[in-house]
Amino acid sequence: MKRLGWTLYFLLVAYFIFLIRQDIIDNLELRKEKLRVEEKVAAEGKFALDLKGRLNRLKGDDLIEELARTRLGLIKKGETAYKVIMTNEQMTNYK
């Protein structure tokens, strides 16, 4: 009878271990996912700060003037614009 009791005890313990095994695995996966999400949130926070900095720079006249000159080719009154034309060979040597 004692042997039957120990056998039932071990079977019961094995049954409970089998039941909670998947819960332990799910818990570990959720912890990993939590870390990934926290890293992503931190990266997005840095990106948001970068965008705010760029927005503040765009509010200033210096950057607007620089963009107007470089991208749009605009000049101030009284200035003379020059355009440098280079051949492909000159471009290769210039780099």
The pTM assigned to this predicted structure is 0.51
pLDDT of residue 79: 84
pLDDT one digit per residue (tens) for the chain, 95 residues: 788 888 999 999 888 888 888 888 999 999 999 999 999 999 999 999 999 998 998 888 888 888 888 888 888 888 887 777 888 877 777 65
Give which of 40, 19, 20 is closest to 28, Cα–Cα: 20
Residue 28 carries which side chain, given as an amino acid letter? L
Write down the pLDDT at residue 88.
80
**Mean pLDDT of all residues belonging to the chain:** 88
Helices 61-70/2-58 angle, 10° precision: 80
For the chain, the domains span 2-94
Among all chains, which residue has been given the structure tokens 């959720």? 30
Q: Are 58 and 64 in contact (CB under 8 A)?
A: yes
